[in-house]
Structure 1
Amino acid sequence: MTKMSRYGIDLYATLEAETGLATGWKQCGSITLARTPERMTLLQRTIAAARSFGIEAEFITPAEAQKMWPMMRIDDLVGAVWLPGDGKANPTDLTQSLAKGARNRGARIFEGVQITGTIIEHGRIVGVETDRGTVRCETFLNCAGQWARDLGKLSGVNIPLHSAEHFYLVTKEIEGVHTDLPVLRDPDGYIYYKEEVGGLVMGGFEPVAKPWGMDGIPPKFEFQLLPDNMDQFQVLLDEAVHRTPVLETTEIKLFLNGPESFTPDGNFILGEAPEVRGYFVAAGFNSAGIANAGGAGKLIAEWIVGGAAPADLLDVDIRRFAPFNSNMSWLKDRTVEALGLHYAMRWPRHELESGRPLRRSPLYDRLQAKGACFGSKLGWERVSWFALPGQTPEPQYGFGRPNWLDACIEEQLAVRKDVVIFDQTSFGKLMVQGRDAAQLLQRICANDIAVAPGNMVYTALLNARGGFESDLTVMRLEADCFLIITGSAQPYRDIGHIKRHIRENEHVTVTDVTSGYCTLTVTGRKRSSCCRA
């Protein structure tokens, strides 16, 4: 992702020379503030990773930050990070410059056209119906922003994103604000600033968001705004006045409330949809579309042309989601939390809380009674650890020794010395059946799955380049029937991969039977004696 963002910055810096149209890109640098030692630790980790990709970054003191950004108070700061290569762009100018660059290379752009349907033949999209007629295509790319989910529904494609109100204000001129003023981010206060015509743009990502568009988004809404909502904006305004006291007496020129779309996990959505071949998606950029558009465009173009993801893009791959992620009630609840992820502390092993519990094992209540602390994976509540006597089964987030470590040590010792039972009901279960099921799996699995019924094989699921798509267990139930056990996060990714390799003359069905089976694993040093008993 870092390489992707860096590509976008390089593109914006050179695009004007190619197209002759200004992008408004200005390399003014950026400052990110830390109010707490924990935030500073998180920034240190982020910068260490960035430096490994050759990105220039340095830690600075609050006083050094104030010299570069004189309007802010610093008495509550621990430190800051300075990124000299960062900057800002004018969204309107950048869009026009990108459009001209595309036209120069043969692209044609039609505005004001509404897609009313899609044409799918043999599982592949081959065209779209519009209010101006039919357009045939080899590949379709859904970049419809907050309309992407509804557009996906026309083809049965699951794109879980939801709009939320997003606020910012623009001030009149402020003394000391100049065109080279760095972008300022104060994540502990949920806010950011950038210079705008001698004044400031201030916006933010409040921790409790207000979803919008539950009843659908009007097709002609692209140049409209929402009514003011000072009650929702107040938390950001209070933090802004705290960080920049000058705002208390500065005249506000504009107050804007415009919806943006957010995804359930705070990562954007890229890749070929598992439901329809040739249907690609690039959407859900969580208010970071300008920053990521250049790099994301390059990645999705390489994906389309090359037929596979050009890098490890698991965190943003559309196949990480399940159908329930687009349930409107669940998605609305998650969006309340998801917008705040933009500036939230991303602790190690941090678990989101909204929309839970959703999918539960038949043993859920029994595990809960035993002091289980649950995590979530693809909607499933899974035991992360069991609380020791006197301990509350709740994680205490931090960068030091976790409160669950002693409990996990006890569990590991139990496996080594005794016998334990794991509830693995959340693991994906796929039934692959049909005349050519064995032939298909033999072709895409690394190990030999031509075993007698009643046997199982642990194997990698490979792509055409010999790379790993998944690791799983294949159980041969009958000559033409296989049960695949895969990771909890993998079933929809694996289903899509397997189906794409079914040839036209092959008869194979792939069915998700995950919710139909409870799975228990008995393991440990004394497992054999336990099973015999």
Structure 2
Amino acid sequence: MPDLPSQARVVIIGGGVIGCSVAYHLTKLGWKDVVLLERKQLTSGTTWHAAGLIAQLRATANMTKLAKYSQELYGNLEAETGVATGFKRVGSITAALTSERLEELRRQAAMARAFGVEVEEASPDEIKGRYEHLNIEDVTGGVYLPLDGQGDPANIALALAKGARQGGAKVQERVAVTHIARDVRRVTGVDWQGEDGSSGHIACDHVVNCAGMWGHEVGRMAGVNVPLQACEHFYIVTEAITGLQQLPVLRVPDECAYYKEDAGKMLLGAFEPNAKPWAVDGIPKDFEFDQLPEDFDHFEPILEAAVNRMPMLAEAGIHTFFNGPESFTPDDAYHLGLAPEMDNVWVACGFNSIGIQSAGGAGMALAQWMQDGAKPFDLGDVDISRMQPFMGNKTYLAARSTETLGLLYADHFPYRQKATARGVRRTPFHSHLIERGAVMGELAGWERANWFARAGQTPEYEYSWSRQNFFDNVREEHMAVRENVGMYDMSSFGKIRVEGRDAEAFLNYVGGGNYSVPNGKIVYTQFLNDRGGIEADVTVTRLTETAYLVVTPAATRLADQTWMQRNVGDFNVVITDVTAGEGVLAVMGPRARDLLNAVSPADLSNEVNPFGTAQEIEIGMGQARIHRVTYVGELGWEVYVSADQCGHVFETLHDAGQGMGLKLCGMHMMDTCRIEKGFRHFGHDITCEDHVLEAGLGFAVKKDKPSFIGRDAVLRKQDEGLDTRMVQFKLTDPEPLLYHNEPIVRDGQIVGYLSSGAYGHALGGAMGLGYVPCKGQTAADVLASGYEIDVAGTRVKAEVSLKPMYDPKSDRVKA
């Protein structure tokens, strides 16, 4: 019978590599009463059959930081625990077969340099020199990362488990969690059952869901949404090959394949474009170290290409054909953090085939978050609160997972849209926009018009790293907003009502702005954390004495609402998501007032409706509430319309605009315009670890308020001075394109990277925003340096500014 306590500080559910890592890192922080429960045997779900590739470079700086930490941890675990992890720094090569893939790899190499990862670009011959078995006939080039590694996945997990036990954790196999007890927003304990028929209950302060492909099911038990789906993942292992020596890990993403030498044998794995979801209706109860049925027909195209790429495979016999399940999430990023639905349920699962290289860092980050009650740094890429409630739908997950596995090795083109599980969330203007040539993208499930095709133009993306097929369309939309009038759909942005007798006092506590304003006043503001970092970037409109509307980015509505709910305390307020209740059309440009005057008798003058105010007006035969704000840096209004009247208001505005050249616009235009104006984008330019003063947003913080979250950190930074500043960049050469993560070069030295990038069509060049270190320096010192941006290995001269390069005094906005 299992020897389990009746009470614990934390119960971790799942004994794969991530569950073991969380337990290990909590004990390192001094946590006692740590219990890990594994339904069968440690590693018996996915960990045991992982390929064990351990790469350093990820898509963002913080994900790279976590991957590098994993490597360092695994290198030292053997000495600490005595368990051999098999970790070796063998290096890795990624080979490109097309010019587009080579451009992607060169941009990744530049990004690696900015993140401090050692990388070398390699010609086909140089690749051949490191990997003699490779057919380089159509290889265009590649990259080599000398410090990448490989390891033994099961032993890494067992070493972490042993380290956790040495730190006092209880690691119990063959015990399944059968029920999770809840009291409103808190878990109070878990019921367990042993394979021997024993059972019991553990009261606990925290639960961590590390259940891997069972994470969705365990999440439901705990009252939280954990969207993931198991997929079949294939690889083969050859018979021993005479004379085969240790080799770098090799990836040939254009053929969906990776290769790993292991004890004189070759492992060939695949991330095929059309994956096979597994166990959509539930995983068998007795699953343990199980393999799935072979499907040679499915794997054959990968093998055929591999035999050409690696001719020695034609002579090698196949020792093992392996098919095992791994879990995938809707966006190919893992799930980490405090679940939004509960206040003591944590999640670490859905690792999309990168669990071994991620687990060390993810376990460290989650343990630190649990210890401090705050994220140790920005984890927005993987924060579970980015998942929308509908994404737990099993039909949705099965459809999306057919694509996400293959996307790991697909070309990661800028603006690439998911092709599966589309059309779930549509704004009230959806059909109107489609009829007029809208090309849709998807964000948080919302179908959004990203750009508009011209008559006769195919309304779909043609992806590339250079100018894509919509470049000129967006330029025309951009210039319409700059010179005339454009209209675009903003309905997907989150709308949260905060109401009650304490609404004003609550917002003054949770936000950095001053919300003691007249009805109809709009306040642009941030919600800060105790470090002065930005948790949310929102506009707040006072509707009545007791009601406000908080407008958030579409992707962070749930996270922003959760942040407010977790900080309610004793304030008497009700917080409600009303996003779907209203459609929103943005009417922007120098002639925006003319267009609205054509359809409404309202007085839109500066005297009656100045910038930063809202009013109720008539439009056509309907009603609307118009907010005079802008994210594109022009005169304009956001028109909020009850969902039932959206069709009428759209038609009224669109018809009236035909005589004045009204142009329908998309989200890409909004991005190109906002970057010219230097407006920050949450999740890229501003995050929870970016101090509001260093982000250049001090104007939105009312420091004289007596008490608000982050006030002390703001005053402290004001006294100490800035360590870094947000700077706007514009390339002097109009040809190169910027996306984000390109290295910033100051006086010949890499000092940072762009947090966002887009093309400034009115200013005539690619533009970016990014932080530049400036400790002990004045603003003039920062601007006095020479700057370049590294674009795929080529340094391009850049102009810089601390003020918006476009309309720095906002005269156009206030016209």
Is residue 2:71 matched to residue 1:5? Answer: no
SS where residue 116 of structure 1 aligns?
Answer: strand
User: In structure 1, what is the equivalent of residue 251 of structure 2?
Assistant: 185
Is residue 2:429 matched to residue 1:363? Answer: yes
Q: How does 1:343-492 map to 2 (within 5 A)?
A: 343-492=409-558
Return the alpha-carbon distance in structure 2 between the equivalents of residues 421 and 80 of structure 1.
43
Q: How does 1:59-458 map to 2 (within 5 A)?
A: 59-131=121-193, 132-178=199-245, 180-458=246-524
User: In structure 1, what is the equivalent of residue 597 of structure 2?
Assistant: 532
Runs of at least 5 residues in structure 2 that lack an aligned partner in the other structure? 1-62, 194-198, 599-815
User: In structure 1, what is the equivalent of residue 783 of structure 2?
Assistant: none
Contact kept? 1:16, 1:22, Cα under 8 Å: yes
Is residue 2:90 matched to residue 1:28? Answer: yes
CA deviations on 1:367-395 (whole Å, 9 max, x unpaired) are: 11211111111111111111234322222
Return the alpha-carbon distance in structure 2 between the equivalents of residues 11 and 125 of structure 1.
32
Structure 2 counterpart of 1:129, one-letter code: D
CA deviations on 1:342-365 (whole Å, 9 max, x unpaired) are: 111110111111111221122212
Return the alpha-carbon distance in structure 1 between the equivalents of residues 522 and 178 of structure 2.
47
Structure 2 counterpart of 1:130, one-letter code: W
User: In structure 1, what is the equivalent of residue 577 of structure 2?
Assistant: 512
Note the C-alpha offset of 1:287: 0.8
Note the C-alpha offset of 1:38: 1.1
Residues 435 and 235 (structure 1 numbering): CA distance in 2 closer, same or farther, change over 3 Å? farther
Return the alpha-carbon distance in structure 1 between the equivalents of residues 353 and 261 of structure 2.
18
> Which has the higher mean CA deviation after the structures are superposed, 133-142 or 31-40?
133-142
User: In structure 1, what is the equivalent of residue 40 of structure 2?
Assistant: none
Return the alpha-carbon distance in structure 2 between the equivalents of residues 218 and 450 of structure 1.
57
> Which has the higher mean CA deviation after the structures are superposed, 404-413 or 7-16?
404-413
The alignment-based identity, stated in percent, is 45
Note the C-alpha offset of 1:320: 0.9
SS where residue 109 of structure 1 aligns?
Answer: strand
Structure 1 counterpart of 2:135, one-letter code: R
CA deviations on 1:189-225 (whole Å, 9 max, x unpaired) are: 1111112221111111001000001111124313111
SS where residue 596 of structure 2 aligns?
Answer: helix
User: In structure 1, what is the equivalent of residue 586 of structure 2?
Assistant: 521
SS where residue 125 of structure 1 aligns?
Answer: strand
SS where residue 173 of structure 1 aligns?
Answer: coil
CA deviations on 1:127-161 (whole Å, 9 max, x unpaired) are: 22222311122222111110111100012211111
Return the alpha-carbon distance in structure 2 between the equivalents of residues 155 and 21 of structure 1.
34
Structure 1 counterpart of 2:331, one-letter code: D
> Which has the higher mean CA deviation after the structures are superposed, 334-343 or 224-233?
224-233
The root-mean-square deviation of aligned C-alpha atoms, in Å, is 1.5
Contact kept? 1:165, 1:257, Cα under 8 Å: yes
Return the alpha-carbon distance in structure 2 between the equivalents of residues 531 and 62 of structure 1.
60
Return the alpha-carbon distance in structure 2 between the equivalents of residues 176 and 74 of structure 1.
21
User: In structure 2, what is the equivalent of residue 19 of structure 1?
Assistant: 81
Note the C-alpha offset of 1:89: 0.4
Note the C-alpha offset of 1:277: 0.6
TM-score with structure 1 setting the length: 0.96
Q: How does 1:495-506 map to 2 (within 5 A)?
A: 495-503=561-569, 505-506=570-571
SS where residue 177 of structure 1 aligns?
Answer: coil
Residues 176 and 69 (structure 1 numbering): CA distance in 2 closer, same or farther, change over 3 Å? farther
Runs of at least 5 residues in structure 1 that lack an aligned partner in the other structure? none
SS where residue 422 of structure 2 aligns?
Answer: coil
> Which has the higher mean CA deviation after the structures are superposed, 231-240 or 39-48?
231-240
Return the alpha-carbon distance in structure 2 between the equivalents of residues 493 and 117 of structure 1.
27
Structure 1 counterpart of 2:542, one-letter code: R
Note the C-alpha offset of 1:441: 1.4
SS where residue 259 of structure 1 aligns?
Answer: strand
Is residue 2:114 matched to residue 1:52? Answer: yes
Structure 1 counterpart of 2:237, one-letter code: V
Return the alpha-carbon distance in structure 2 between the equivalents of residues 150 and 31 of structure 1.
38
Note the C-alpha offset of 1:481: 2.0
SS where residue 428 of structure 2 aligns?
Answer: coil
> Which has the higher mean CA deviation after the structures are superposed, 25-34 or 124-133?
124-133
> Which has the higher mean CA deviation after the structures are superposed, 372-381 or 479-488?
479-488
TM-score with structure 2 setting the length: 0.64
SS where residue 25 of structure 1 aligns?
Answer: coil
Aligned residues, how many? Answer: 531
Structure 2 counterpart of 1:83, one-letter code: L
